[in-house]
Structure 1
Amino acid sequence: MRGALRWAGISVLLLLALLAAAACGGYLYLRIYTAPQTSGTLELAGLRKPVQVVREPSGVVHIRAANEHDLFFALGVAHAQDRLWQMEFQRRVGAGRLSEVLGRAALEQDRFLRTFGFYRAARNAYRSLGSEGKSAVDAYVAGVNAYLRTDPGLPLEFRLLGYEPEPWRPADVLVWAKMMSFDLSANYESELERYRLRARGVEPERIAELMPAYPEDGPVVLPEGAEVPPAGERQAEALLRLRRSLPRSVEASNNWVVSGRRTGSGSPLLANDPHLGLGVPALWYLAHLESPTLEAVGATLPGVPGVVIGRNRDIAWGVTNVGADVQDLYVLEETEGGRGYRHGEEVLPYRVREERIRVKDAEDVVLRVRETVYGPVVSGVVDAPGGRPLALRWTSLEPEDRTIEAFLGINRARNWREFNEALRSYKAPSQNFVYADEEGNIGYVAPGKFPVRQEGHSGLAPVPGDGRWDWRGSVPFEEWPRAFNPREGFIVTANNKAVPDSYPHRISLEWAEPYRAERIRRMILSAGRLGVEDIVRIQQDRRSLLFEDFRPVLEELRVRDERARRWRERLLRWGGEVRPGSEEAAVFEAWYTELTRLPAREVGQEYWDEPRYLLRAMRRGDTACEPSGSREDCLRFAARALGRTLERLGEEVPEWGRVHRAVFEHPVLSETPLARLAGREVSAGGDGYTVNVGPYDPASFRMDSGPSYRQVIDLAPEGRSLYVIPMGQSGSPLSGRFDDLLGLWSGGGYLRMRTAGYEADDTLILRPSR
């Protein structure tokens, strides 16, 4: 999954001003840095009663408060103490205000963000919250601001850029949820890809070959026979026709839950590892929150109140991206002069909003954004072929969004009924929620606002914005995909197909490749009675089913070069474990990367990572295989690709972990003299299709997304639950807690998830000021 933090990183190569700032003041700052106060007593205005904030040696935070207001207030304080720059950067990204502090280098990104209107949507979302949701957000914001009023030592980034943070506002909390939703709602990009291919003259039938449909025998989260509403005959036929030519989702996360019938303890086990961008600092922050009405522990997001993934006193949950199709692009027919567009029998004028972008050391830029009945016209800021304007409709830009209330409700939920009721207000991004409780139940829900489209509108490519293809509503709460205590005794989701063809609504026609889901299922089914160690073993698994599929291709290769023959034989003896220390893994991954070049001339891209397209070419032939497109031509291409692979890797083939590095870069400091202070990289295994995922840039083998958080939760009364994040709890490169968890994460280790019996390294008492 491509994380929002990494997506938001700008081209810092252009930030030459930072080089000078770092050279002049950066190292001086190392001498005057003041760590946040994490022990003793801190008086803050806005608290109602004293709050205890305890940090373990790992930096994991435990907050005990007398009420929820003080609980969320104190979480705002703790987040700000450890991650203030991250929170600042995130809200500036969402608001399209990076140019104010980074100059013209950030202007293009700000134009994009202002055009979409993320911050505008965040303000509307806050207005739509109920009283409990607003209270939680307000308390969190009050905590951040109370901390800022103590005049704390500011993080390095503020000093280098020469400014101080503004007070926090409620929309600053909700805008990062919008950015996460954008990161996990990438359908508009696949629509543009298909639009671009058609503009290149690629026929729809050929696009269906280049972007194969989800395999008919691939695992489905809710298989046929699950308790889902029946489909009408006509609608089911339409779904079967559509699913033959679908692009693949690029997102990647795993979760699964196993009932007590399959565990040694007789209680459920639940695992989750969301795959998002890797960066500095970590995306998540580990915390335990406790008040008389709410106790939860797990992964929190700096800038947002509550636990997003984890457990409470009674239940546990984990999430992966559904990949729901909640975005559509509409091609507008403009009137003469471009002042309006045709919709139905009417000509509608554009509603124009002005966005003033302040630019450091330059004049303000005024952006005029045209709004339509669908949403903003985005064709000026996305790579769209042709000259006609494209408008975007997306559920996350709609005025009402109470998703944060759903998460707060989950934090309090005590059972399956309350868990479902909490999700009633969930909108976006749609996630595969797996569930377990201490009573032994397991379950699954995919919540969200799923558009109901007109018959004939697949959602796969832009359609005319003349009213004929407008949405007809959304899927009712009662008909969301669900399962409770399924007969199989476990539920697995890995961004694979969520619902069977009999499901009456079209959630999506784009799903991730089934390799990870299939491998997890195999390991569960072959394990007998499962314990925590077995779940950890599955989560850390790097066996490549991609290699399993491509091994028969290797068997058929006819290679003349002696070195290539030797490596072919080594690969055929290899078991497919993509370990960091494996030379075979390096050769296989580099060879697969060479294979992805096959349709480069046709699609206009250097790499085309579509495994089933490539397998089909090797088995049946393909027009991209020159000269004749025969199967033999494709196998000759694959043989030459093996030769090119060995040339690329050099005389001494490196171990996979030497070239495949998990890279953690700072979004601003990565190209300054402070890059080595702020950035990290470690050896990594896996690939984009292994359970322990290791996606990489095919040009460099760099891995800049992956498991951003891992958890294994044991619902047994004395269960041993585990979690970990990469890097550390602190965002300061000068803190001992900056990267102290990186070795644990990369080595497959975990922290104990504790709510009691932990070692207290620092204890801070927050008191109401007199």
Structure 2
Amino acid sequence: MPHLRAANLHDLSYAQGYETARDRAWHLELDRLRGEGRVASVLGAQALSWDTFAVQAQLDEIGQRAFARLSRQTRHWVTAYVDGVNAAFDDGITAQELDDVDVRPGHWSPWTPLTVFLVHHVLFGSYPSKLWRQHVTDALGAEALDVLRMEAVPASGSNAFVVGSARTATGFALIAGDPHRAFEAPNVYAQVHLACPEFDVVGLAFPGVPGIQHFGHAGSVAWAVTNAMADYQDLYAERLSRRDGEVWAVGPSGEEPVSRTVVRVAVHDSEPVEVEVLVTERGPVIIGGPDDDVAMSLRTPAWVDGDLGFETLLPLLGARSVADVEAAFVHWVEPVNNLVIADRSGVAVRRVVGRVPVGAPEDRVLPLNPTDAQAYWDSCLEDLPLAKVAPEAHLVTANERADASYDTISAEFAPPFRADRLNALLDGRTDLTVTDAAAVLVDTEQNAGRALLAFLAELDGLDAAAVALRDRLLGWNRRMDAGSEDAGLYGAVRAAFIDRICASPDLVQLQGPSPYGDLYDGWFVLGSRVATALPQLLAAGRPFGLDLAFLARAALEEVAAAPAPGAWGERHRFHPVHGLEQLGLVQVDLGVTGAPISGDSDCVASSAWAPGTDACTRGPVARYVWDLADRDQSLWAVPLGASGDAESPHHHDQFEPWSTGQLVPVITDWAILEEKYA
């Protein structure tokens, strides 16, 4: 990983841009093209759905607007990073993927880092889940949401915890956690160490974005985030019409003109495609248009204010205390996060940061009616949830509804299983070390499965083989270890049960791709939705008229009669997705693709299970333990490695420590670094 030290802030930012380009040239170029809506110009028509969305959502325009409003110091800092990226590309740095499609890296604009940041987060919020809920409501009625409400949200989530200073072996706080996103190659985060006379910080950064954004350790203070699951993205079900060459929408006061432009999107080896870009009083139209049955606009604080929160990033690097980090995050916009902070003085807090529009809970479930004057917001919540952590306490955040104060920011949160397990693992523990904290992060106990196992225990009328299988599962330790044959049997029974539920006459209406375009297919995987809602379905009696006992009995008997499925890791395999594979093009050999891994969707070791496939494509994209006693006793690892070059020895050299939890030391002592690498 790069350890960068410079005489001043400008040179350090330039160096970070240059070195990021050396490690991640393909990654940077792909994200720049994503932000500008020009992926199809290089990779063909497979990328048109994303490019159309990027152009209609005005991602690059938001980046430009946000850059223009930055303070002079922040603008110069970001520009130095961009200059470093461009200098690297001018020096001929490229990547094998770019050579394969005969493309040279393009020029970065001063605002490109802001656009890239938005690319990583625009689908991270609540609005795709509102599309799913609307789909359920249209097919089955609003009451169906009550039993399909605990959602699996692709590409989001995280675990984090802080242990107070009185509970650790050193007498200083520990912060540990893991961000959950799609497994990508190269990894979505890059490890980096940045130092100049003003600061010395180590952490995880988005390639293409200067500084260290979500997870960092500055020596005297450390921080981390999880997704707060807040609703900060409003969808409006627009009523659009076309008249005399103009487009009109219906708002609370009647008809309103709609801004309209046409953008030509280039397509490799094909004719350009014209994309109609419409902006209503609510926001840009990202789904449908006046000629379609459905049209929806998206309104977010980032679009309304032209602000992406970059004024946080420079003060964050200079933070020395919890108060400094809190002051930096006053400028944060999105995604709305749980921020966990601790410093060497013993202060530790969890604070929700970002801009959450003022709104009623009932407005946070489905797309809004644009004619309803009450469905608009012109301000954001001022009092966001805050919790202080006493020296003798610990605090967990795992995307759950932590307490009643969270009801002001969202109508729906992650199931409580990860948070409950983390609390159980930490309750009563003293003298905790960094290795203890790292071991917590790879815990594989499957608590979400309790409901299914209890349901199976009550079944009658089973044949002898099914009874033997059921009894074996009831005696299982519920650990989803890769080498566990019992976990493999549980996974097979669960999959067979869920398949039968999904095939029921009511739910089969929800099968298939997203009706809103393939960009949202990940949110419309019925098997994943049913798997996450399974405890509620089992508690509902006969949801959708289903005889769940009959279906569970059939699932048990099917698995009992079939050849043994083998260990869990035989079907639960690591699958990082390369950008070319995401677009249906060639699959790149990543060296560790297909490796068995432990964990499951609702384990602390949250490696997501995907119905109907052996591919595990989501989970912790880093694991870290920040030690406030001594930063160089901290531990971390990422699923692959620092380099984006598949031929580099550092492409996936961290897979083993990441997957086993035997994390590697964080080295920041410059004397050691100079001796080791000189």
Question: What is the TM-score when the length of structure 1 is the normalising length?
Answer: 0.80
Q: Within the alignment, does 1:271 sit opposite 2:176 as a pair? A: yes
Which one-letter code corresponds to 2:117 in the other structure? A
Residue 159 of structure 1 deviates from its aligned partner by 1.1
- Answer whether contact 1:75 1:140 (CA < 8 A) is retained: yes
Look up the match of 1:252. Answer: 157
Q: Deviations over 1:436-470 (max 9, x none)?
A: 101111111111111012x5742211221125134
Q: Secondary structure at the match of 1:378?
A: strand
Look up the match of 1:116. Answer: 57
Look up the match of 1:748. Answer: 661
| CA separation of 1:674 and 1:686: change in aligned 2, threshold 3 A | closer
Residue 609 of structure 1 deviates from its aligned partner by 3.2
Residue 296 of structure 1 deviates from its aligned partner by 0.6
Residue 583 of structure 1 deviates from its aligned partner by 0.9
- Answer whether contact 2:248 2:255 (CA < 8 A) is retained: yes
Q: Deviations over 1:485-508 (max 9, x none)?
A: 34872221001114415x6x7211
Q: Within the alignment, does 1:491 sit opposite 2:395 as a pair? A: yes
Which one-letter code corresponds to 1:405 in the other structure? E
User: For 1:525, which of 424, 427, 451 is the aligned residue?
Assistant: 427
User: For 1:365, which of 266, 273, 276 is the aligned residue?
Assistant: 273
- Answer whether contact 1:300 1:307 (CA < 8 A) is retained: yes
Q: Distance in 1 between matches of 2:417 and 2:646?
A: 37
Residue 753 of structure 1 deviates from its aligned partner by 0.9
- Answer whether contact 1:62 1:288 (CA < 8 A) is retained: yes
User: For 2:73, which of 132, 136, 146 is the aligned residue?
Assistant: 132
Q: Within the alignment, does 1:190 sit opposite 2:95 as a pair? A: no
Q: Distance in 2 between matches of 1:612 and 1:750?
A: 29
Look up the match of 2:527. Answer: 607
| CA separation of 1:463 and 1:755: change in aligned 2, threshold 3 A | same
- Answer whether contact 2:632 2:666 (CA < 8 A) is retained: no
Look up the match of 2:143. Answer: 205
Q: Within the alignment, does 1:651 sit opposite 2:563 as a pair? A: yes
- Answer whether contact 2:361 2:411 (CA < 8 A) is retained: no
Q: Within the alignment, does 1:481 sit opposite 2:385 as a pair? A: yes
Look up the match of 2:521. Answer: none
Q: Within the alignment, does 1:446 sit opposite 2:358 as a pair? A: no
Residue 621 of structure 1 deviates from its aligned partner by 1.9
Q: Distance in 2 between matches of 1:121 and 1:357?
A: 18
Q: Distance in 1 between matches of 2:631 and 2:339?
A: 24
Q: Within the alignment, does 1:663 sit opposite 2:583 as a pair? A: no
User: For 1:68, which of 9, 14, 30 is the aligned residue?
Assistant: 9
Q: Secondary structure at the match of 1:469?
A: helix
| CA separation of 1:292 and 1:276: change in aligned 2, threshold 3 A | same
Q: Distance in 2 between matches of 1:559 and 1:117?
A: 59
Q: How does 1:257-336 map to 2 (within 5 A)?
A: 257-308=162-213, 309-334=215-240
Q: Secondary structure at the match of 1:546?
A: coil
Look up the match of 2:652. Answer: 739
- Answer whether contact 1:194 1:461 (CA < 8 A) is retained: yes
Look up the match of 1:578. Answer: 480
Q: Within the alignment, does 1:621 sit opposite 2:526 as a pair? A: no
- Answer whether contact 2:12 2:195 (CA < 8 A) is retained: yes
- Answer whether contact 1:269 1:712 (CA < 8 A) is retained: yes
Q: Secondary structure at the match of 1:740?
A: coil
- Answer whether contact 1:248 1:510 (CA < 8 A) is retained: no
- Number of residue equivalences: 654
- Answer whether contact 2:137 2:144 (CA < 8 A) is retained: no
Q: How does 1:337-376 map to 2 (within 5 A)?
A: 337=243, 339-376=247-284
Residue 625 of structure 1 deviates from its aligned partner by 4.8
Residue 535 of structure 1 deviates from its aligned partner by 0.7
Look up the match of 2:520. Answer: none
Q: Which runs of 5+ in 2 are unaligned?
A: 512-525
Look up the match of 1:554. Answer: 456
Which one-letter code corresponds to 2:287 in the other structure? S
Q: Distance in 2 between matches of 1:674 and 1:253?
A: 28
Residue 622 of structure 1 deviates from its aligned partner by 1.0
Q: Distance in 1 between matches of 2:648 and 2:285?
A: 45
Look up the match of 2:293. Answer: 387
Q: Distance in 1 between matches of 2:440 and 2:641?
A: 24
Q: Distance in 2 between matches of 1:596 and 1:209?
A: 14
- Answer whether contact 1:663 1:681 (CA < 8 A) is retained: yes
Look up the match of 1:411. Answer: 317
Q: Which runs of 5+ in 1 are unaligned?
A: 1-59, 213-246, 627-632, 765-770
Residue 542 of structure 1 deviates from its aligned partner by 0.5
Q: Secondary structure at the match of 1:184?
A: coil
| CA separation of 1:678 and 1:182: change in aligned 2, threshold 3 A | farther
User: For 1:710, which of 623, 632, 646 is the aligned residue?
Assistant: 623
Residue 132 of structure 1 deviates from its aligned partner by 2.1
| CA separation of 1:761 and 1:142: change in aligned 2, threshold 3 A | farther
- Answer whether contact 1:269 1:532 (CA < 8 A) is retained: yes
Which one-letter code corresponds to 2:493 in the other structure? W
Which one-letter code corresponds to 1:120 in the other structure? E
- Answer whether contact 1:121 1:398 (CA < 8 A) is retained: no
Q: Distance in 2 between matches of 1:612 and 1:190?
A: 14
Look up the match of 2:516. Answer: none
Q: Distance in 1 between matches of 2:560 and 2:29?
A: 45
Look up the match of 2:514. Answer: none
Q: Distance in 1 between matches of 2:102 and 2:654?
A: 31
Q: Distance in 1 between matches of 2:119 and 2:665?
A: 30
Q: Distance in 1 between matches of 2:399 and 2:558?
A: 33
Q: Within the alignment, does 1:436 sit opposite 2:374 as a pair? A: no
User: For 1:420, which of 326, 334, 337 is the aligned residue?
Assistant: 326
Per chain length, whose mean CA-contact separation is higher, i.e. which structure has more relative contact order (CA < 8 Å, sep 6+)? Answer: 1
Q: Deviations over 1:286-311 (max 9, x none)?
A: 11111011211011221111112121
Look up the match of 1:29. Answer: none
Q: Secondary structure at the match of 2:281?
A: coil
Q: How does 1:688-703 map to 2 (within 5 A)?
A: 688-703=601-616
Which one-letter code corresponds to 1:161 in the other structure? V
- Answer whether contact 1:115 1:369 (CA < 8 A) is retained: yes
Q: Distance in 1 between matches of 2:527 and 2:84?
A: 47
Q: Secondary structure at the match of 1:271?
A: strand
Identity over the aligned pairs, expressed in percent? 28
Look up the match of 2:367. Answer: 462
Q: How does 1:59-98 map to 2 (within 5 A)?
A: 60-98=1-39
Q: Distance in 2 between matches of 1:575 and 1:470?
A: 49
Look up the match of 2:113. Answer: 173
Q: How does 1:583-598 map to 2 (within 5 A)?
A: 583-597=485-499, 598=501
| CA separation of 1:322 and 1:66: change in aligned 2, threshold 3 A | same
- Answer whether contact 1:121 1:399 (CA < 8 A) is retained: no
Q: Distance in 2 between matches of 1:612 and 1:84?
A: 37
Q: Distance in 2 between matches of 1:619 and 1:285?
A: 43
Q: Distance in 2 between matches of 1:390 and 1:104?
A: 24
Q: Deviations over 1:604-643 (max 9, x none)?
A: 23525346853354455214355xxxxxx32221111223
Question: What is the TM-score when the length of structure 2 is the normalising length?
Answer: 0.91
| CA separation of 1:488 and 1:698: change in aligned 2, threshold 3 A | farther
| CA separation of 1:335 and 1:276: change in aligned 2, threshold 3 A | closer
Q: Distance in 1 between matches of 2:462 and 2:655?
A: 44
Q: Within the alignment, does 1:637 sit opposite 2:551 as a pair? A: yes
- Answer whether contact 1:184 1:323 (CA < 8 A) is retained: no
- Answer whether contact 2:578 2:587 (CA < 8 A) is retained: no
Q: Deviations over 1:13-32 (max 9, x none)?
A: xxxxxxxxxxxxxxxxxxxx
Q: Secondary structure at the match of 1:680?
A: coil
Larger radius of gyration: 1
Q: Distance in 2 between matches of 1:87 and 1:449?
A: 28
